[in-house]
Amino acid sequence: MRFLTMATLFVLSIFAAQLVRIQGFDAHAVAEEAQLKREAAQVIPAMRGTVLASDGTVLASSVVREVVVVDQQAVCTFGTGLHECDPTRSAEAVRQAATLLAPLLNTTAAELVPQLTGTSRYRILSRDVTPLTWNTIEKLDIPGIYRDRRETRSQRTYPQGTTTAALVGYVLANGEPGGGVELMMQEQLRGAPGRETFELGRDGTVIPVGESTVEPAVDGRDITLTVNSNLQWYAQNALAQRIKETKAASGTVVVMDAKTGDLLSVASYPTFDPNTDVGKKGAKLGNVAFTDVFEPGSTSKVMTIAAALEEGTVTPSTPVIIPNRLPRYDKSFKDSHEHPTLYRTVAGTLAESSNIGTVLVSETMPPKTLETYFRKFGLGSRSGTGYPGESRGLLARSEDWSGTTKATVAFGQGLSVTAIQAASVFQTIANNGVRVAPRLVDSVADADGTVTTMPESPSTRVVSQRTANDVSRMLEGVVSPEGTAEEAQISGYRVAGKTGTADYYDAEAGRYSGRTASFIGYAPADDPQIVVAVIVQKPTYPFFGGYVAGPVFKDVTTYALQELKIPPTGAKPPRVTLRVSPEKALADPTLLRDGRKRAGG
């Protein structure tokens, strides 16, 4: 008895000591531990900022999606007035609940009944329920139907679908941006998530009177682009139609404000639907206007002629004798077609897009001078938009040019550009010789409505206003009956532009395959407001720039002039001398011909 008494007292003393420790010394810690066991937390997702077009059209937005779940041991009491399932009434209770829920969950009662039947305390019915739909479901007051607040998420939607997909980009399933403006403006768009804590009962439901804290989420900022949504839609469809007609591989249309450098449209084909195609095998998710490089061909001749005019080595009326063949080093160069010896001016050389004539013009300058102007026009460097994946293009140092490369770069081969760079060259000429870096984002808006306008793009004078005006008059000759793109004329407007046809280098095949057809120009030519560049890769024959890209240029430019309410100036185009008689050419001391001493060797 004494032993049992002592043992009992010993055990009770231990209990007493433990009780004193728990309630006296460790009371706070124990309470916190118990609190943590009851406490649950939920991340409150930040709504990603909206991407808007310049006219307010929504290009990308976020919506909240709720996860609706069922406690199968509770839903079977619906309408019975009981707290537990009654086997004789459960089937009817579940059927009634399914009938009410089915239309709200975009399913049928027959498909929903098996999901509501059973003994599971937690089964997901839908992950894609809007807050408004959840409010309707909640009002049905069906036992066991609730939302899992821990799984509430934000979902990205793209109302314009394929029209702006390649430009705006997309968001992956994990919420991270995968490309385009979504990636470029990630810091502004993503926001900061919040956090909510609450207490749960043993059955997993929230204790209404339990402790809770809320740290609200900070939504992302809204981004407004310079893009005009109507013009983007029109350009995208005009491009897609022409690519299908010519059985081409890809293409792009870039529309720029000639004065500010703002990108009004960047259409790209093939495209994709960011709502459904992300993650699918073979989906083309890039934007070829920024990422793909190609040899520009004859559109590059604008820079060569402008450089020579600026350096004073030629004038628009300088005569040029253009033979059918021009031997240089180990190659013989020719134009796009066979012809007898031609007598043209420098203006005529550009209007008729003569490779040989352009080489002769380029040889009035050292190669280093030509390279310097090309770089001032923006070649060999990114445009400045900050667009992810943008290429610098390819422009080797003039010191590394081979003997034949010195000739080919003059007419747009042996170097590569992006569509954005190519359009920027013509923006420079259209803007009186001042290059303005392309601009894509117009403003950023905070949640409180504060709008911050993005700064104007930096500008650089490349050539003088006189040189730009001279080149512009020459480019009007391109769309004249004597030029290479008469089909680009627009009734009532003066148009300046240039065709381009070049061999296309297929990086995947590792060789040249097909052609690049292009037309780049601006209007009105006497007071330029918009620049439009059309690039089509690997069209079927005929593959010439005037035929393939010219009609798209005319179509898109005509629409843009109407959409932007740009009236014709009414001014008549100046007369530009394109041809010269042999006698007059031979008598002119400034005559350019094969055999004349070349600058820089």
- Say whether pLDDT at 601 is over 60: no
CA–CA gap between residue 565 and residue 36 (Å, rounded):
65
Is the torsion defined by CA of 184, 185, 189, 194 positive or negative?
positive
CB-count exposure of residue 515 (10 Å: 0-12, 13-18, 19+)? buried
Is 391 domain-assigned? yes
Let me know if residue 32 belongs to a domain.
no
Write out the DSSP string of 471-500: HHHHHHHHTSTTSS-GGG-BTTB--EEEEE
pLDDT of residue 24: 63
- For residue 403, tell me if it sits in a domain: yes
Same structural domain, 167 and 70: yes
Would residue 9 count as lying in a domain? no
Contact 494, 515 (CB under 8 A): no
Residues 6+ apart with CB under 8 A from 524: 493, 494, 495, 566, 568, 569
Local confidence band at 23 (pLDDT 50, 70, 90 cut-offs):
low
Residue indicated by tokens 């720029």: 256
Six token digits for residue 289: 């206007």
Neighbouring C-beta atoms of residue 354, cutoff 10 Å = 26
* Residue 28: predicted pLDDT: 60
Place of tokens 């590569």: 416
Judge contact between 555 and 320, C-beta under 8 A. Answer: no
For residues 156 and 283, state if they share a domain. no
The structure tokens 């080595």 sit at: 313
Q: Would 205 be classed as within a structural domain?
A: no
Q: Rounded distance, CA 104 to CA 93, Å?
A: 18
Q: Which residue has the higher pLDDT, 208 or 179?
A: 179
Q: What span, in angstroms and rounded, lies between the C-alpha atoms of 414 and 402?
A: 10
CATH of the domain at 146: 3.90.1310.10
Q: Could you read off the pLDDT of 155-204 as tens digits, one per residue?
A: 899 999 999 999 999 999 888 999 999 999 999 998 888 887 777 666 55
- Residue length of the chain: 601
3-state secondary structure of 109: helix
Question: Which DSSP letter does residue 409 get?
Answer: G
Which one of 110-124, 130-144, 297-311 scores highest in mean pLDDT? 297-311
The share of the chain scoring above pLDDT 90, in percent, equals 68
Determine the 3-state secondary structure of 143 from DSSP. coil
Q: What is the pLDDT of residue 531?
A: 98
Q: Per-residue DSSP letters for 319-344?
A: EEEE-S-EEETTEEE--SS----EEE
Question: Is the same domain home to 396 and 444?
Answer: yes
Query: 439 and 341 in one domain?
Result: yes
Residue 174: its pLDDT value, please? 82
pLDDT in tens, 520-575: 999 999 999 999 999 999 999 889 998 999 999 999 999 999 999 999 988 888 88
What's CA 7's distance to the chain center, in Å? 81
- Residue 591: pLDDT band (50, 70, 90) is very high
Q: Which of 375, 376, 353, 368 is nearest to 406 (CA)?
A: 368
Q: What is the DSSP letter of 387?
A: -
pLDDT value of position 191:
84
pLDDT for 34 beyond 60:
no
What is the residue-wise DSSP string for 269-313?
ES---TTT-TT-TT---S-HHHH--B--GGGGHHHHHHHHHHHTS
Within 13 Å and on the Cβ side, how many CA atoms surround 145?
Answer: 28
Structural domain containing residue 280 = 229-587
In this prediction, residue 515 carries a pLDDT of: 94
- pLDDT (0 to 100) of residue 36: 53
What pLDDT, in 10s, does the model give residues 65-105?
889 999 998 998 888 888 888 888 889 999 999 999 999 99
Q: Is the pLDDT of residue 206 over 60?
A: yes
Q: Is residue 140 located within the same domain as residue 183?
A: yes
pLDDT at 17: 66
Euclidean distance between CA atoms 261 and 388, whole angstroms: 19
How far is it, in rounded angstroms, from Cα 428 to Cα 442?
A: 21
Return the pLDDT at 494: 93
Backbone angles phi, psi at 144, to 5 degrees: 85, -5
Same domain, 73 and 141: yes
395-414 pLDDT, tens per residue?
999 999 998 999 999 999 99
Q: What's the CA dihedral at 233, 238, 244, 249 to 10 degrees?
A: -80
Distance CA 124, CA 595 (A): 83
* DSSP3 helix / strand / coil % (the chain, rounded to 5): 35, 25, 40
Q: Do 450 and 581 sit in the same domain of this protein?
A: yes
In eight-state DSSP terms, residue 22 is: I
The two structure tokens encoding residue 114: 């098996």
What is the tens place of the pLDDT at every residue in 141-151?
A: 999 999 887 77
- Residue 231's φ and ψ, nearest 5 degrees, are -70, -35
- Residue at 30: amino acid letter: V
What is the gyration radius of the CA atoms in the chain, in angstroms? 35
Residue closest to 264 by CA, chosen among 381, 158, 423, 422: 423
- From the CB of residue 195, how many other CB atoms can be counted at a distance below 10 Å? 13
Q: pLDDT: is 324 or 284 the higher one?
A: 324
Q: How many CA atoms lie within 13 A of 480 on its CB side?
A: 21
Q: Identify whether residues 275 and 369 lie together within a single domain.
A: yes
Output the pLDDT for position 128.
87
Res 449: pLDDT: 84
The total number of structural domains that make up the chain: 2
Q: Distance between CA 385 and CA 84 in Å, rounded?
A: 64
Say if residue 26's pLDDT is above 70.
no
**Do 177 and 101 sit in the same domain of this protein?**
yes
Is residue 352 situated within a structural domain? yes
Q: What pLDDT band is residue 64 in, cutting at 50, 70 and 90?
A: confident
179 phi-psi bin (left φ>0, alpha ψ -120 to 50, beta other): left
Quick one: which of 236, 374, 240 has its CA closest to 303?
374
Whole-prediction pTM value?
0.84
- Token pair 């040889």 is found at 363
Q: Is the pLDDT of residue 599 over 80?
A: no
Angle at the Cα of 263 from the Cα atoms of 258 and 266, rounded to 5 degrees: 125
Instruction: Determine, yes or no, domain membership for 594.
Output: no
Beta strand 153-157 with 194-199: parallel, antiparallel or unpaired? unpaired
Do 494 and 563 sit in the same domain of this protein?
Answer: yes
Domain check: are 217 and 246 in the same one? no
Burial of 332 (0-12, 13-18, 19+ CB in 10 A): exposed
CA dihedral 559, 562, 563, 564 (to 10 degrees): 120
Could you give the percent of the chain with pLDDT greater than 70? 93
The answer to whether residues 195 and 278 belong to one domain is no
| 39, pLDDT greater than 70 | no
Q: What is the C-alpha separation between 291 and 421, in angstroms, rounded?
A: 11
pLDDT for 573 equals: 82
Q: What is the pLDDT of residue 194?
A: 81
What letter would DSSP give residue 527?
S
pLDDT for residue 596: 65
Tell me the C-alpha distance between 570 and 568, whole Å: 6
User: Using N-to-C axis directions, what is the helix angle for 109-116 and 90-101, rounded to 10°?
Assistant: 130
Which pLDDT band, with edges at 50, 70 and 90, does 493 fall under?
Answer: very high
Which residues on neighbouring strands pair with residue 335, listed in sequence order? none
Q: Is residue 71 part of a domain?
A: yes
Q: SS3 for 65?
A: strand
CATH code at position 552: 3.40.710.10
| Token duo for residue 557 | 């430019």
Q: Looking at residue 82, what is its pLDDT?
A: 83
